[in-house]
Amino acid sequence: MTRPLPYGRQFIDDDDIAAVVAALKSDCLTTGPAVTAFEAALAKVTEVADAVVCSSGTAALHLAALALDLGPGDAVIVPSVTFVATANAARYVGGEVVFADVDPATGLMGSEHLEEALRRCGGLVPKAVFPVHLNGQCVAMKALSEAARRHGLAVVEDACHALGSRQGEAATGACAWSDMAVFSFHPVKTVAMGEGGAVTTGDARLAERLRLLRSHGITRDPDGFLQPDEAFDAEGRPNPWYYEMASPGFNYRASDLSCALGTSQLAKLDRFMARRAQLVAAYDRALAPLAPRVVPVGRAADGVPSWHIQVVLIDFAACGTTRAKVMRGLAERGISTQVHYLPVHRQPYYRGRSPGLSLPGADAYYDRCLTLPLFYGMEDDEVERVVRELGRVLS
């Protein structure tokens, strides 16, 4: 009997379970040593000075926007093909989103898309760009960063799809061409910790600010105290109970349970990536007979991807069908699919803020994209099954 195939799912091994059990039996369920251990492991994987873990990828994006002091009147350039959280992070702090177009074959923004978006900023002050690595492939960061720096923009990589990928000699997350990079550890990601996120940075000042903001804005560091009469006793020693909040932050902490799972999962990242690459290669071979009406997502020119999802581009009109019919037909055969993503500029909230905006590359990518199953525990013959059933549904 064939098993149902989700478009993505976590892989949990016995050592993952043991790591969580050990955390449960420890003295700390949150803000303990497992958090510090995960941050150290992630910093090593991403080859960066600091990794700051938090409760989700969305929280990580919000923290990055806060750390940059973005606010009302500031423009943040965001590619339209992404999850809504990338754009929402700018709105959380009062900034305005200016959407950039993308390459219709890869879904990735380039420096030319950044330049075009900047010309549409009007009276806003461009402050930052949040390029998005999509499906496991990376934006050409060197060229994009050079363009961003010419305009005085901060750069925050949304790398939620790309843990383990490389851009030239640099690991994604090393921030070789950015101020910060943001990751997600949702269950469909390559590495899962239930819910969780992180920001990596090579800037110690930003790392300190991120840690402050993720925990209510509270500091217990005597060197940072602003009220000496409250903070210190008559001998000048810090009062043992004392902490300060100079400005509000958020409760975006990650638990030791999540971080214990995350650290165990990170140890398997190379194995996860290698198997996903094998499955993507199997898809490439199996899809070849369906070309040109069905093709794998375009390949980025540079870098080594860490595949997160398997996206194909389908000419639905040429096949005489619609995406909805294809998705329903595959679901009837036990194969779940998804769409990544409806361009964010077409969401009601943003359509109302940017009426009439046309981004032809984003629209062309969206019109054809479909996400097929891809996960570590998938078998080669299941790839063949997915493509075989796809062909049947299309015909």
Residue 252's domain spans which residues? Answer: 14-266
Are 259 and 273 part of one and the same domain? no
pLDDT of residue 302: 83
Confirm whether 364 is domain-assigned: yes
Confirm whether 136 is domain-assigned: yes
Are 221 and 348 part of one and the same domain? no
Listed residues 266, 292, 323: the one ending a domain = 266
Q: Which active-site residues does the annotation give?
A: 189
Listed residues 197, 232, 266: the one ending a domain = 266
Q: To which residue do tokens 């294809």 refer?
A: 326
Buried b (16+ CB within 10 A) or exposed e, 118-137: beeeeebebbbbbbbbbbbb
- Count the alpha carbons within 13 Å of 120 in the hemisphere toward its beta carbon: 20
> For the chain, what is the domain count?
2
pLDDT of residue 168: 84
Residue 311 and residue 304 in contact, taking contact as beta carbons nearer than 8 Å = no
Q: How far is CA 4 from CA 40, 75, 128, 371, 383, in A?
A: 37, 44, 42, 16, 13
Per-residue tens of pLDDT for the chain, all 395 residues: 799 999 999 999 999 999 999 999 999 999 999 999 999 999 999 999 999 999 999 999 999 999 999 999 999 999 999 999 999 999 999 999 999 999 999 999 999 999 999 999 999 999 999 999 999 999 999 999 999 999 999 999 999 999 999 998 899 999 999 999 999 999 999 999 999 999 999 999 999 999 999 999 999 999 999 999 999 999 999 999 999 999 999 999 999 999 999 999 999 999 999 999 999 999 999 999 999 999 999 999 989 999 999 999 999 999 999 999 999 999 999 999 999 999 999 999 999 999 999 999 999 999 999 999 999 999 999 999 999 999 999 99
Tens of pLDDT, residues 137-166: 999 999 999 999 999 999 999 999 999 999
How far apart, in Å, do the first and last CA atoms of the chain sit? 24
Are 248 and 275 part of one and the same domain? no
290: which DSSP letter?
G
Q: How far is CA 204 from CA 67, 149, 257, 268, in A?
A: 12, 20, 26, 28
Are 212 and 145 part of one and the same domain? yes
Confirm whether 58 is domain-assigned: yes
Are 96 and 186 part of one and the same domain? yes
Six-digit token string for 133: 């690595």
Are 245 and 311 part of one and the same domain? no
Are 56 and 203 part of one and the same domain? yes
Six-digit token string for 383: 């790839």
DSSP for 152-203 reads T-EEEEE-TT-TT-EETTEETTS-TTSSEEEEE--TTSSS--SS-EEEEES-
Listed residues 266, 294, 309: the one ending a domain = 266
Distance in angstroms (rounded) separating the CA atoms of residues 66 and 85 = 14
Confirm whether 142 is domain-assigned: yes
Confirm whether 8 is domain-assigned: no
Are 149 and 243 part of one and the same domain? yes
Q: Which residues pair with 312 in a beta bridge?
A: 296, 370
Are 102 and 63 part of one and the same domain? yes
Distance in angstroms (rounded) separating the CA atoms of residues 383 and 276 = 11
DSSP for 350-395 reads HHHHSTT---HHHHHHHHHEEEEP--TT--HHHHHHHHHHHHHHH-
Are 238 and 131 part of one and the same domain? yes
Confirm whether 119 is domain-assigned: yes
Are 195 and 244 part of one and the same domain? yes
Confirm whether 225 is domain-assigned: yes
Q: How far is CA 295 from CA 175, 319, 331, in A?
A: 32, 13, 20
Residue 378 and residue 118 in contact, taking contact as beta carbons nearer than 8 Å = no
Tens of pLDDT, residues 26-43: 999 999 999 999 999 999
Query: Does pTM surpass 0.85?
Result: yes
